[in-house]
Amino acid sequence: MIQSIQPAEKLTGTLTPPPDKSISHRSAMFAALAEGQSVIENYSPAADPASTLSCLAALGVDLGRDGDRITVNGKGRKKLIKPAVMLDCGNSGTTMRLLSGILAGAGVDAVLTGDDSLSARTMKRIVEPLSQMGGSITAKSGEFAPLKISGHHGIRGMRYPLPIASAQLKSAVLLAGLYGEKPTEVVEAVPSRDHTERLLGLKSEPFGTGKVIRSSLSDEIPLQNYRVPGDFSAAAFWLVAGSVRPGSEIALKKCGMNPTRTGAYQILKLMGADIEVLNPGMAGSEPVADLVVRSTELKPVSPDPALVPNSIDELPVLMVAMCFANGISKITGAEELRHKETDRLDAMGKILKAAGADFELSEDGITIEGSPSFKPKPVQYPSFHDHRMAMAAAVMATAAGRESSVLDAECTAISYPDFWTHLSELSA
């Protein structure tokens, strides 16, 4: 599908971002491992969390769905069954990596596969620690899907310093650790998303600049009864769009404001963005709030690399914001972008080049010379079949002088099925 985008004089309106994808995945998985019925409201309608539900059903989990409400009758951590088919994770790295931790810990015979994009992403980072713990897991060429998981002779608790800041790697190890008699300790030097620890109620304690998180067979897995908050990663596209289009004002309702997810908010505030936080509260163990963004001239920024892990999914649209900042911005420490659905550094380089931006890529980041008067070229942007590339290009295109378009725009359904509708509503 080719999506046309008309230039927007300003963006105004109120909307609720889609349900948080990361929390949706975890809520369903953890509900399946709990003993008893969980009811989860506002479950994500996106394609990735749907992959998680189909995989859980294949593992014998009894679940039902009524709109955005899912009911999961948990089997307990030891009663997942051998699936009759390969577990298709679609495009979802979260599904594949977290389920691998659970199944390697449980010793359930299963094969996990995915689409071409997911099958090209390395899984070596989870295969190695899960194998060290006693799990039986093998990958094509040692690092790619399909992943084959088999029974084992017991999970060994271990102390595991995270080699990179990765919530998926951290979660895979902790989930396997739930099957070990002795605790598994994950040492996290640089904070990453902590939804797994929050939703499972895992014990942790400070360690240097980070923390140590523990899991073991003695941890009771709680039922998952709550309403999933709005996805901050989705809201970030509107925070940037509202900041750079003069005269804009966008209200975003019930956004997740977990401090391990809001690095992009901190970066935008450093750039001078006018973002107001209203009605703070809690949705289960997760902080939420309403946000209002108003247009303003942005300053250049070179964010601390420590902010990068907690803004990794938002960095593409932050690069768009930097094109409109008054000076030179620089991102470093973002090499992880090269291992997403596509090489997002290279992909954003192609999008920025098409737009006519002044930038220079490096191995782990980018330098952008921005200007408040920057006017993107009205072109046809590639999406690289990557939802975040498509949405970042769309935000860029709202500032062009004439109609632009995005190729393969249907890929936004991976995380934000209503994105194009919401863009049209705000542009009207």
Please identify every residue annotated as catalytic.
313
By 3-state DSSP, what share of the chain in percent is helix, strand and coil, each rounded to 5? 35, 25, 40
Q: Residue type at 316?
A: P
Residue 83 token pair: 């699936």
217-242 burial, b at 16+ Cβ within 10 Å, e below that, comes to bebebbbbebbbbbbbbbbbbbbbbb
Question: For residue 347, what is the enclosing H or E element?
Answer: helix 344-355
Contact 309, 335 (CB under 8 A): no
What are 374's two structure tokens? 């920057």
Strand order of the β-sheet with 136-140 is: 87-88, 110-113, 144-150, 136-140
What the block records as the tokens of 336 is 């992880």
Q: Are strands 110-113 and 144-150 parallel, antiparallel or unpaired?
A: antiparallel
- Calpha distance 159→325 (Å, rounded): 44
Q: What is the distance between the alpha carbons of residues 21 and 405, in angstroms, rounded to a whole number?
A: 26
